[in-house]
Chain A
Amino acid sequence: MNNKMQNLRDEIILRSGVNPSKCMACGKCSATCPAYNEMEYHPHQFVSMVKSGDIEPLLASDSLYKCLTCFACVDRCPRGVEPAKLVEAVRLAAIRQQGANHLKPDMVPDMLDDDMPQQAIVSAFRKYTK
């Protein structure tokens, strides 16, 4: 792990409050994850890859935007690891970079329909932009 990755790893762990070393690799988080099929890297891989500092592939992966923020992995992990918090911390590391917002305001009009609740729009901005 180079210095930059070491720093990023420490930052992600600090921000998320997650201790990936508690993980016993049982896979329950990924088994219960409703976004499993859409994700290239699954919740248990976020845990193991952050632990080993292999963060670059995660930063570049669409998996960051496929997580539903449903907290199923948080509640069902037998070790209290809370993988969703790592997914969020890595996503923040990605979108906080200059010009890296995943959702841009001019993309929104095409996504709307007459019934879409405000909640959908504010949530998307909260999750995908900085």
Chain B
Amino acid sequence: MKASYFPGCTLKNKATHLDIYARKCADVLGVTLEEIEEWQCCGGVFTTSKDEVATKLSSVRALKEAKAKNQPLITVCSACHNVIKQTNHAMEDTQFADKVNRYMGEDAYDGSATVYHYLEMLRDLVGFDKIKEKVVNPLTGKKIGAYYGCLLLRPNKVMQMDDPENPQIMEDFIRAIGAEPVVYAYRNECCGGYIAMEDPQSAKKKSNRVTECAQIAGAEMIVTACPLCKYNLVKNGSELPVIYFTELLAEALGVKEVSNE
């Protein structure tokens, strides 16, 4: 299966592991990821305002290219996913789309591409059962707390990934690679990552709540899809290691050396 792939700015820089292992694992799972040509940064935050046109253009260009190739668009970073998926939804509004399409050259775009987060690709396009079959190095006995944060799940009306108050997709992923999911209260609450520059104290309070809660529930590590969550949790003193989900997948599929963490 072929799919379009939007890596985003952080995966090319501070979060290269998130990207490299996403690609390696896709190879093993029979998905060919074709990187969007000349993609541009999504901007990191979706602007909900109906008169914010320029801030949507980079996402629309990526969506339009995927649509032209008739491929699903795969994202890995939680923020890229949130921005691109919300932009796609915004483009279903014809009045708004008209404004954006003035910048889009000949072919208008209408919000009809399909966007999958890599986790959704694993669940819906590959299948967790198939992943289980491909696991050569099951992470047996590892107790892992999934950290969803806010961007993957909300607003649920648009994101439609999972039940936003009791999500399962990351726990199912953790089971598929042979480990044991640890459910804890703050797994779908915000770590304050967006405010890390503006108000580091506020970000610290939010992120400590998440990591302490995971620790009390018995997790040995936290898994995330978001470079900003990882940065924020680690910087503010998480006693648990915070690992990208693609790294764990790569370990289980035997395309990464086993870490000692």
Residues of chain A having any CB pair with chain B under 8 Å: 14-17, 34-35, 38, 65-66, 68-72, 74-75, 82, 84-85, 88-89, 92, 103, 108, 111, 113, 115-124, 126-128
Instruction: State which of A35, A72, A115, A124 has its C-beta within 8 Å of the C-beta of B202.
Output: A35
A residues in contact with B230, CB < 8 Å: 117
Q: Is B47 an interface residue (CB 8 A)?
A: yes
CB distance from A74 to the nearest CB of B (A): 5
Interface residues in B115-171 by Cβ distance below 8 A to A read 150, 153-157, 164
Contact bitstring B161-194, A, C-beta under 8 A = 1, else 0: 0001000000000000000000000000110111
Q: Are B154 and A117 in contact (CB under 8 A)?
A: no
Contact of B43 among A17, A115, A126 (CB under 8 A): A126
How many chain B residues touch A (CB < 8 A): the figure is 44
User: Would you mind naming 23 contact pairs between A and B with Cβ atoms under 8 Å apart?
Assistant: A15-B49, A15-B51, A16-B50, A35-B195, A66-B199, A68-B206, A75-B154, A75-B157, A82-B155, A88-B49, A89-B49, A116-B14, A116-B196, A117-B15, A118-B9, A118-B13, A119-B77, A120-B196, A120-B228, A121-B197, A122-B43, A126-B43, A126-B47
Chain B nearest CB, measured from A113 CB (Å): 8
Does A72 contact B9, Cβ atoms closer than 8 Å?
A: no
Give bound CA distance, A110 to B231, whole Å: 17
* Number of CB contacts from chain A to chain B under 8 A: 127
Q: Is B49 within 8 A of A124, CB to CB?
A: no
Docked complex: B8-23 residues within 8 A CB-CB of A? 8-10, 13-15
- Interchain CB contact under 8 A, B234 and A115: yes
Contact with A along B32-50 (1 / 0, CB 8 A): 0000000001011101111
Are B14 and A117 in touch, CB under 8 angstroms?
yes
Residues B231 and A115 in contact, CB atoms below 8 Å apart: yes
Evaluate contact between A68 and B195: CB separation under 8 angstroms: yes
Say how far A1's CB is from chain B's closest CB, in angstroms: 22
Docked-complex contact B192 and A34, CB < 8 angstroms: yes
Q: Report the bound CA distance from A123 to B197 in whole Å.
A: 10
